[in-house]
């Protein structure tokens, strides 16, 4: 039996492979054209792959930059909202802050639940701002810290009672950097009902004010004397506008309200949850006049 090799040799002998010159030339041209076409196609594919890779890298870079900017914007917004916000005049004599800065009023809220009367904007911070501005208008330089204490508590996942630890930090910094400070006020509003926190003077409603001190403070005696002095001054000019000096004794876990940091420090409870901002502002203006009489310039 003939093998494949024998058959191939037989075919070569029967049909000698001597192609014509024109055939060789024509075939060569076609093969070169085909080769160039395939080369162009290969280069196009390579270029397409490179371009696609560059585009993907560029897109990824842009997305990274965009995300970084977004994160930076979010961080800066958070910082601005929760950490560093204050109004300061040169050589301040009075420092004002709000440990429970989101305490609001029924008139500014959509709730009548005292546990939910907290607002981001229309809150006790506005009362602190009014007191600060009234002092400045009376020629008393002041520092009003507007740090969002409640916002920081939420971010750090801390319990409510830790608020004084957070408000303590900017207070310590302010005292260290401003030796001129003579008085420190932490502004709050009470949760008591309106009949306890409101008084009508000459036909106009005002928020009553209470002066609160803690026996846990190492400066308790000085804090108490200062609170009593404020109470007496208010009573002299506006009888019954003050609810008096409230002394918080030492239950387990009692805090100092940061009054251990300064002798002339007191927690001011201006009005209550059923008062309006207008009533709060009126009392803040009165307090500014009282404080003006006590500061040493």
**What is the Rg, in whole angstroms, of the alpha carbon atoms belonging to the chain?**
40
Write the CA distances from 261 to 133, 223, 247, integer angstroms. 24, 10, 17
Render the burial of 82-114: b for 16+ CB within 10 Å, e for the rest: beeeebbeeebbbbbbbbbbbbbbbeebeeeeb
> Contact 146/87 with Cβ under 8 angstroms?
yes
Q: Using CA atoms, how far apart are residues 280 and 198, in angstroms rounded to an integer? A: 10
- The pLDDT value recorded for residue 284 is 98
**How many C-beta atoms surround the C-beta of residue 220 within 10 A?**
19
Write the CA distances from 172 to 95, 177, 181, 227, 257, integer angstroms. 11, 9, 12, 21, 13
With H, G, I as helix, E, B as strand and everything else as coil, classify residue 123.
Answer: coil
With H, G, I as helix, E, B as strand and everything else as coil, classify residue 19.
Answer: coil
**pTM of the predicted structure, to 2 decimals:** 0.71
- The pLDDT value recorded for residue 194 is 96
**How many C-beta atoms surround the C-beta of residue 182 within 10 A?**
17
First to last CA, the chain: 129
- The pLDDT value recorded for residue 125 is 97
Per DSSP, what are the bridge partners of residue 275? none
> Contact 103/270 with Cβ under 8 angstroms?
no
Local structure of residue 106 (DSSP, 8 states): G
Give the pLDDT means over successive 10-residue stretches in the chain (297 positions): 55 54 57 62 60 55 46 38 62 98 83 67 95 97 97 95 96 98 98 96 98 96 98 97 94 84 98 96 98 93
- The pLDDT value recorded for residue 15 is 47
- The pLDDT value recorded for residue 275 is 96
- The pLDDT value recorded for residue 74 is 39
């Amino acid at each position: 039996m003939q093998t494949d090799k024998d058959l191939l040799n037989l075919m070569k002998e029967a049909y000698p492979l001597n192609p014509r010159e024109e055939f060789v030339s024509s075939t060569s041209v076609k093969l070169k054209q085909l080769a160039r076409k395939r080369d162009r196609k290969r280069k196009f594919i390579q270029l397409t792959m490179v371009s696609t890779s560059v585009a993907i890298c560029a897109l990824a870079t842009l997305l990274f930059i965009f995300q970084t900017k977004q994160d930076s914007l979010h961080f800066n917004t958070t910082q601005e909202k929760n950490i560093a916000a204050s109004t300061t005049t040169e050589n301040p004599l009075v420092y004002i802050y709000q440990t429970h800065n989101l305490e609001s009023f029924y008139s500014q809220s959509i709730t009548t639940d005292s546990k939910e009367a907290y607002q981001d904007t229309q809150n006790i911070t506005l009362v602190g701002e009014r007191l600060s501005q009234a002092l400045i208008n009376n020629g008393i330089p002041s520092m009003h810290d507007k740090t969002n204490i409640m916002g920081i508590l939420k971010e750090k996942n801390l319990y409510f009672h830790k608020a004084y630890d957070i408000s303590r930090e900017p207070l310590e910094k302010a005292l260290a950097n401003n030796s001129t400070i003579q008085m420190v006020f932490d502004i709050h509003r009470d949760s008591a009902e309106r009949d306890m926190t409101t008084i009508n003077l000459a036909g106009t409603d005002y928020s009553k004010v209470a002066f609160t001190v803690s026996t846990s403070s190492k400066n308790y005696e000085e804090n108490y004397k200062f609170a009593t002095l404020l109470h007496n001054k208010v009573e002299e000019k506006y009888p019954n506008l003050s609810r008096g000096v409230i002394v918080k004794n030492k239950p387990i876990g009692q805090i100092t309200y940061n009054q251990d940091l300064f002798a002339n420090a007191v927690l001011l409870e201006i009005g209550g949850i059923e008062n309006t901002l207008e009533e709060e502002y009126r009392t803040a203006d009165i307090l500014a006049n009282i404080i003006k009489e006590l500061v040493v310039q």
